[in-house]
Every structure is written in structure tokens, then in C-alpha cells.
Amino acid sequence: MKQKFEIELTDGSKTEATFITRIKPDDKDVEYIYYSINDDDDDSDNGKVSIFASKLVLEDGKEIIKNLDSEEERQDAYKVFSETYKKIRQENN
């Protein structure tokens, strides 16, 4: 399953991202978006990919993807993702 869109990295390069999901935890104001990007040096079908997390914010009525601000936010994004994923797996099974 591929849901592709373009993302621009801080080094100015643009790359193709594959959407995974977006999650807004109940008890937080932030909404995270998760997507994957192929590792530069491996394009094969079973190669490694990195899962990215960014946050979605509303600016002038539009939702924009923004960088996470801190290491703490990055850790939180990871925790939200893994706990949600685990819960859905349990519920689906």
C-alpha cells in the first residue's frame, strides 16, 4: 500500500514520503503525523525505511506539517505511535 506525498528536508532536498497515519492523543493538544521515507542507500523492496514523526498545526485555517520542537516531543511522538499501534493490533485481533 503506498500513499505518497512530497516532503522537504532541512538540507533543501525534496523527497518522497509514504503516509502511515496521524494520531491525536486524548489528553494532549498536539496531533502527530507519521510517515516513512526510504533510507538513502537502500531502495530495495525489503530495505530499511525510517519512520518520521511531525506535528500538525493550524495556521490561518490550514493544517501545516511542522517539525517537532524537542527531543522530549520526539520521545512523546514515539510513545504515542507505539502504544496506539499496539492497542489497535490487540483490538483487531
**Contact predicate 36/47, CB 8 Å:** no
8-state DSSP, 33? E
d(CA 90, CA 46): 26
Among 29, 41, 72, 91, binds other proteins (CB under 8 A): 91
Contacts with other proteins, 58-87, as mask; x by CB under 8 A: xxxxxxxxxxxxxx--x--xx-xx-xxx-x
**Contacts (CB under 8 A) with other proteins, residues 9-38:** 9-10, 12, 18-27, 31, 33-34, 36, 38
Q: Helix (H, G, I), strand (E, B), or coil: what is residue 27?
A: coil
Q: Rule CB under 8 A: which of 37-56 touch other proteins?
A: 38-39, 44-54, 56
